[in-house]
Structure 1
Amino acid sequence: MKQFLRLNLLIFGVLIIIGGLLWWMKPPFVLPVIDALTGEGSYSFAYPWMFAALPVLIPALVAVYVRVKNQHVAVMAYTRDDVLGTAPKSLRQRLIGLPIVLRVAAVVALTFAAARPQAAYEETREIDGMDIYIALDMSGSMRTIDLTETELRQAELEGRRPLNRFEVAKVVLKEFVQRRRERPWSDRIGMTVFARNALPQFPLTIDYSTVLWLIDQLQLTDLN
């Protein structure tokens, strides 16, 4: 029991001293942890209550260690009493307490991981550009193919399917958005489609990948 208490006091004392020194010195790698514990800065813990398990886990770990250690006590016989005090200690004897220290350190590290340290960052971007709002006709008239008889025959001979007004509009719109993406500034693009009634398709945005995908998904049957 005395050994159990001594080990617990020693371990908690070492943890308190190390924690106090790190808190006072504030090395860069410890600052996120300090911010998370104090609730200041951009760091925090998702489950801070996990640290309440440490006062239970550490004594339990020490108790198991002491119990196992007492079950394996080595006994050596000496012919002279003074030999016991003068015999040099081996490296294994000097590091006999290292396993429990490493186990406690592992428990503390796992507790920190289970508490899920998090970092939140705010980023402000200044962009130049204009707001472009597109109104796309999706009425039945967009099924019309604007080609002459000669152009239709030529397309048929070449095995090409002629595009109607709506399909041409989608091609032009995607090229227009792609050009916005390649420029150094950012124009926000929004769209409303209409037939008998108008339907907002997406608000003003600079997410050009999503804009291209939404344009590609449009079908004349959506509003007709």
Structure 2
Amino acid sequence: MFELTWPWFLCLLPVPVLFHFLPTVARKDQSIWFPNAQYLQNHEEKRPSKHAIRLPLIFLLLAWICLVVGIARPVWRGAPTQVIPSGRDIMIALDLSGSMQVKDMKLNNQPVDRLTAEKWVLSNFIKKRRGDRIGLIVFGTKAYLEAPFSFDTKTINQLVQETQIGFAGQQTAIGDAIGLAIQRMENKPDDKKVLILMTDGANTAGQVNPEQAADFAASQHLKIYTIGIGADRMVVQGFFGPQTINPSSDLDEKLLKSIAHKTGGQFFRARNTQDLKRIYADINKLEPTKAQPIWQRPITSYFHWLGLASLVFFALTLLTSGKLSLSRFKSSMRKRP
């Protein structure tokens, strides 16, 4: 359905007509002196036609109409759609420390780093969380709020894909990430708060102790699901040939299990991409909280198109009236010494 946000601005449309009918003040000296008849004849031949005079006026009126209608803010309201929110606020804490660049994961049989695999799986998880508000925290040496809670899962997903290793520092501040999540969900209902914390290491930075943060999160009824990512075995090329190492030796599983246990969540171990998919599929089965349906109508604004059209018509006005004539510009350039 088409409608105008501020229809009263259309009262300005007749303004040019009113200016046209205003009385003009006649000049006292209306005589014109010509040195000879030949001068008058030459100027008579160069006099513009009525069509050339009217064209700039038409463009000017069109520019005015587009401007006034654009200011009135025309919008198109689409068909109403029903969104049934589950009522949950899910905060995702994503580890961007330096160890996330270890390539012990695989996508399409190609080795990739841990963050790339996490982005791929997390993207599908976010798309399925319709009706939930999703937020994003990134942490490394420090923890930062990347995106507040929003139903706009498309934007949240895009922000996840834009994250890069080292954005928040090279170390791992698990306690600070939990503390920031508690702060952002302080005034939320107790039964609707969930934090998904994914890391591949131990707490090596930050000002908040993870165990104390978990205790406080439990008192605030914040449920934390922890995910430890990283393979147990990885073959690397050493000086004496291939060697098998444990790239997840720094992962503090005991801490992550303790955080999940204290808050009523669950600890998951992701050794490969398939484990990650299974883990997020399990988390995706969180029982939703019933809520009243929300009706939304998409709105498309045409203000920018009308504003652009107004500028185009105004430029055509100047061109057809000779104010921006290309021939005049060329002649002026020729006259320059």
Give the structure with the higher percent strand: 2
Structure number, greater radius of gyration: 1
Q: Same fold (TM over 0.5)?
A: no
Q: Which has the higher contact order (CA 8 A, sep 6+)?
A: 2
TM-score bin (small chain): 0.3 to 0.5
Normalising to structure 2: TM-score of the pair? Answer: 0.30
